[in-house]
Chain A
Amino acid sequence: MQDAYSRRNFLKLSAALLAGGAAIAGSGTRAEAIGHVAGPAQRVFEIKGYCPFCQVRCTYKARVQGGRIVSLTGDADNYWTGGAMCPKGMSMVELVNSPYRITEPMYHEANGSWRRISYREAVGMVADRMKDVVQRHGDKAGNRVAMTMPLWDCLESEVAALMALRTVGCVQALPPGETCVSTASNMLGDMLGVNSGTTQVDDICNARTLVLWGANVSDLYPPYTRWLAKTREQGVKIVYVDPRKTRTSMWCSQQLRPVPGTDGMLALGAIAYILNKGAYNEERARFQIEDFDNLKPQSASATMDKVASITGISEEELGTFYETLAASERTIVWLGGSLSRQSNGIGTVRSIILLQALRDNLIGQGKGMLTFQSGKPGGIDELVDHFFGENATPKLNFRRIRLAMEKGRLDILFLNSSYRRYPDARGVRKAIEKVPFVVHMGFFLDEESEVSTLFIPAAFGPESAGCGYGNENQLAWREQIVRAPGSCVPAWQFYRDVGRLVDPRRYPDFEGPEDICRMMQAHVPSWKGITMERLKASSTLVWPIYEQGAAERKGTVFSEGRLLTPSGKMRVQDRVFGGINRWTYPKGHPLGRKASKDFPLILLQGKQLWHWQQTLTNFTHSMGQFSNGRFVQVHPKTAAGLGLQEGDRVLLETAVGGLEALVEISENVRPDFVFTPANCCRTTPVRENCSPSICDILPNSWDRISAQHNGTGCRLRKI
């Protein structure tokens, strides 16, 4: 054997050790569980973006490295959010890189399988279908096509989509708020002349009293909690009306927990109390209420004892609340979405608006109404009309569209959002299945793709530039942050490509959202001052701005000192919606006249802080880590009566159907109702978010405006 100890061998060994060591060091594992961790050589860029979910429209700075989003940081320059963000907004980091995302267009074969097709082929297919509808139905083609919104990326996508519909004369784009706040927006429009909030969130600091009437601000708009905290610190009295104890309860000085569905009676009682006490300025009240003399007789029956009996609130608590309203010099009422989701919501909202008018709490600083999902800059229809001529076709609500689908009168449905947001979702699905051509622009293989003919892979917000809008009518501009994978396209691109094929003569040619924005500035007077330069330089910019360089308009919309209805007044006895004196329980309510004894509990459903409806966030593990699936909150007394314990599995049943849920015992609900979350999705691979939609078991109840989601009877059966 040769002697191994030599200079050559020693040097060889040393070199081998060094190389080996370097190789080991270089192959170290790198955490890739979240986002993308790029090598140290790649520079980090910060690019502004905004969250696509709730209407707070938080702006953020995305940290981008190696072409991918690494993390998000709230935009501290945003006046409305102060840099705050909530978990669902941050889930975007996971969503854009989701392994479950479908990135190529697909055609749904008759046997249920999917066939991958090219983007060009998909666009051609849609355009041919639209041309065919026009050919077969001529002037009546418009009502053979419909679209559900929202589109997830930007305002310009909405413009592009509406223009694509107009190429066949269609105006049936169903607003996302239809199932959320349309009762409130319609009533505000009817009575005040403005179909959204009449002031802005920062004005709550100027009030003496803030009534959060069913408005669970902290769960729905978490970043706006900072305004509640600020308002409380300034000594404003916050009264929260909600049967449930929620995060919002933390900020109020009084919480009233009425029997669900009885808010209208609570408001009527307040009107009666103030009238009886004479705590109003009659001249100011008559200035705003045309038939003021109707108010007293229509509210007279709402005596204190009757209100206490119906709402389940003690007379003492009612007295405190009513006295607060009677004495407050400036009161803002924030209307919760739930008021619009009960079939007696029209009366409830009308009574609350009249109460505000009676106390002269609509016109002026620190006065008015706020709603959820209220801000939407105007001008979109004006721009569409500019290219396609004025529209004379009435817009239909989803109830009418569903009927058209059931009767085979709809040829094309652009299904952009979840059909599961409508009650009786199973019935809705059956109706959609009768539509011969359903185009779903989405991200995942979900319930919507199951009923679709064509799947178009959409781009998430950060994958396209564009303009977002929020609750305060504020606009935020976003540059493209990252490139979309595969054949994913932003909605504006898809609808532009379809529109240009169907009607190249009228459909305007544009390169991207910036061009559309410039068209708005050129053709819509209220956008004239919203220049691209100003939009890009500002964190947010409040619409409207009529002149270049003009200041943003903030505060009350009644800047001329009168309501914005044609007469400057509202009516107690409305020609279409009647008066406020015929108060009833919501449809199917266990205490209602036609109640079934089989379903003795009231069913409430609602949002959870870390989920946005039934769609995207359900596909994220980041949100799944906080979820515990389909649960039902039950009061300890109710649980004891039914022999239920924490963690039991139950069947939550209504007259329409049932679904499995996990029992969570909590005093945050009253003994007469149960609560279950509105999110959850059957098709998600994330187990913690997986459950059939709650709308599967909600009856198809509507009032004259919107669908009912809350207040129907239910029962629990242990399984």
Chain B
Amino acid sequence: MAHYIMAIDSERCMNCKACIIACQQRNHVPYGLARNWIRETACSTAPAGFRFQPGTCMHCDDPSCVRACPTAATWKDSDGSVKIDVSRCIGCGSCIKACPYHARFLNPQSGTADKCDYCQGSTPGEVPACVAVCPTHCRIFGDADDPGSEVAGVLATRKPIHVIPKNSGARPTLTYLDATTPEILPEGPTESRPVEAMRPMAKAVTWIGGLVLAALGGTFVRQLLWPSAREEEEPAANAAGHRASNRAREEGTAEDHRGQS
């Protein structure tokens, strides 16, 4: 199993934004929203007046977004990426709030959380769009466990830097090379208590729902194979009922007369 990591040489980024639009188009992210970004930090000594830091989901180890999800719709996969199963996502937004990098957003088209998945959802097996189009090759992606891969090479030979928001405890796998600005981000959001409370409740709901479904299924099968005695009697009972009412109409019962007067 591959172990994917993205390394970024942010000193080569010129803020052309090709990575952003390539990702939007490849993954059908509405313009104006984005799975990736370029952070600009004004710096009078920088050649272009700014330092640029490209970013995207950090595919953290023990990610706070995974812990925050009440429906287990998001998880850390064995290939190193953090994924979302949109069929399980209820769009509650708790993972969005929990991500200290603001790497997630609510996709208004699908109504679910959205984030970088290394383009595995749209074009599995291909290089992520942001990596493919970059004119300066500042994003390097691949299997870090493959010693022959470029990403393994740069991770072995260059100084790794992990950008971590203050007090977040995040453990990002996205690695900047040698230098990047800023190295520390402002304090990110933490999980809210209601969301934390939702998790055991959601588990309980899942169990109860499961039990109810099992009961319904069992009843369904039972009714197919061994219909109840009452149902067998039902047509006869209905027929008897019809005869009784006809007779009453012919005889003109007191009850009927009362009803007509």
Taking Cβ atoms with an 8 Å cutoff, the residues of A that contact B are 3, 6-7, 10-11, 14, 29-35, 37, 63, 70-74, 76, 81-87, 90-91, 93-94, 218, 222-226, 229, 245-247, 249-250, 252, 255, 609-610, 621-622, 624-626, 666-668
* CB-based contact B48/A250 at 8 Å: yes
- CB-CB nearest 10 A-B residue pairs: A31-B109, A33-B30, A84-B135, A249-B47, A247-B14, A71-B25, A31-B28, A85-B133, A7-B223, A250-B47
Q: How far is the CA of A71 from the CA of B24 in the complex (A)?
A: 9
Q: CB-nearest residue of chain B relative to A14? A: B220
Asked whether A7 and B224 contact (CB < 8 A) given A245-B49, A622-B31, the answer is yes
The reply to whether the CB of B251 lies closer than 8 angstroms to some CB of chain A is no
* CB-based contact A33/B18 at 8 Å: no
A sample of 7 cross-chain residue pairs with beta-carbon separation below 8 angstroms, ordered by A number, consists of A29-B110, A72-B25, A73-B133, A86-B16, A218-B14, A222-B18, A250-B48
* CB-based contact B47/A255 at 8 Å: yes
Residues of chain B within 8 A (CB-CB) of A610 are 16-17
The reply to whether the CB of B132 lies closer than 8 angstroms to some CB of chain A is yes
B29, B48, B111, B224: the one within 8 Å of A246 (CB): B48
* CB-based contact A34/B25 at 8 Å: yes
Query: What 0/1 readout, one digit per residue, does chain B (18-49) give for beta carbons within 8 Å of chain A?
Result: 10111011101111100000000000100111
The reply to whether the CB of B181 lies closer than 8 angstroms to some CB of chain A is no
Asked whether A222 and B16 contact (CB < 8 A) given A10-B223, A84-B133, the answer is yes
Dominant SS among interface residues on chain B: loop
B22, B31, B227, B234: the one within 8 Å of A33 (CB): B31
Residues of chain B within 8 A (CB-CB) of A74 are 132-133
Q: How far is the CA of A249 from the CA of B136 in the complex (A)?
A: 14
Q: How far is the CA of A31 from the CA of B122 in the complex (A)?
A: 13
The reply to whether the CB of B255 lies closer than 8 angstroms to some CB of chain A is no
Number of A-B contacts (CB under 8 A): 138
Asked whether A10 and B132 contact (CB < 8 A) given A37-B28, A84-B18, the answer is no
Q: How far is the CA of A63 from the CA of B26 in the complex (A)?
A: 9
Q: How far is the CA of A310 from the CA of B211 in the complex (A)?
A: 86
Q: How far is the CA of A250 from the CA of B25 in the complex (A)?
A: 28
Q: How far is the CA of A32 from the CA of B30 in the complex (A)?
A: 8
* CB-based contact B109/A86 at 8 Å: no
Q: CB-nearest residue of chain B relative to A224? A: B135
The reply to whether the CB of B250 lies closer than 8 angstroms to some CB of chain A is no
Taking Cβ atoms with an 8 Å cutoff, the residues of B that contact A are 12, 14-18, 20-22, 24-26, 28-32, 44, 47-49, 107, 109-111, 122-123, 126, 129, 132-137, 219-220, 223-224, 227-228, 230-231, 234
* CB-based contact A86/B15 at 8 Å: no
Residues of chain B within 8 A (CB-CB) of A226 are 135-137
Residues of chain A within 8 A (CB-CB) of B17 are 87, 609-610, 626
Residues of chain A within 8 A (CB-CB) of B135 are 81, 84-86, 222-226
Q: How far is the CA of A188 from the CA of B192 in the complex (A)?
A: 67
Residues of chain B within 8 A (CB-CB) of A223 are 135
Q: A70-B25, A83-B132, A609-B16 are in contact. List 11 more A-B contacts (CB 8 A).
A: A3-B234, A6-B231, A31-B28, A33-B30, A84-B18, A84-B135, A86-B16, A93-B25, A222-B135, A247-B48, A621-B31
Q: How far is the CA of A51 from the CA of B218 in the complex (A)?
A: 61
Residues of chain A within 8 A (CB-CB) of B14 are 218, 222, 225, 247, 250
B207 to chain A, nearest CB (A): 21
Residues of chain A within 8 A (CB-CB) of B223 are 7, 10-11
Q: How far is the CA of A11 from the CA of B219 in the complex (A)?
A: 11
A364 to chain B, nearest CB (A): 29
* CB-based contact B22/A85 at 8 Å: yes
* CB-based contact B22/A90 at 8 Å: yes
Q: How far is the CA of A255 from the CA of B45 in the complex (A)?
A: 13
Residues of chain B within 8 A (CB-CB) of A626 are 17
Asked whether A87 and B26 contact (CB < 8 A) given A14-B220, A34-B31, the answer is no
* CB-based contact A86/B49 at 8 Å: no
A3, A76, A229, A252: the one within 8 Å of B47 (CB): A252
Q: How far is the CA of A246 from the CA of B123 in the complex (A)?
A: 35
B244 to chain A, nearest CB (A): 16
Residues of chain A within 8 A (CB-CB) of B136 are 225-226, 229
Q: CB-nearest residue of chain B relative to A85? A: B133
A35, A246, A621, A666: the one within 8 Å of B28 (CB): A35
Residues of chain A within 8 A (CB-CB) of B224 are 7
Q: How far is the CA of A225 from the CA of B15 in the complex (A)?
A: 12
A605 to chain B, nearest CB (A): 19
Q: CB-nearest residue of chain A relative to B138? A: A229
Asked whether A247 and B129 contact (CB < 8 A) given A31-B30, A84-B134, the answer is no
* CB-based contact B133/A30 at 8 Å: no
Asked whether A622 and B21 contact (CB < 8 A) given A225-B14, A245-B48, the answer is yes
Residues of chain A within 8 A (CB-CB) of B48 are 245-247, 249-250, 668
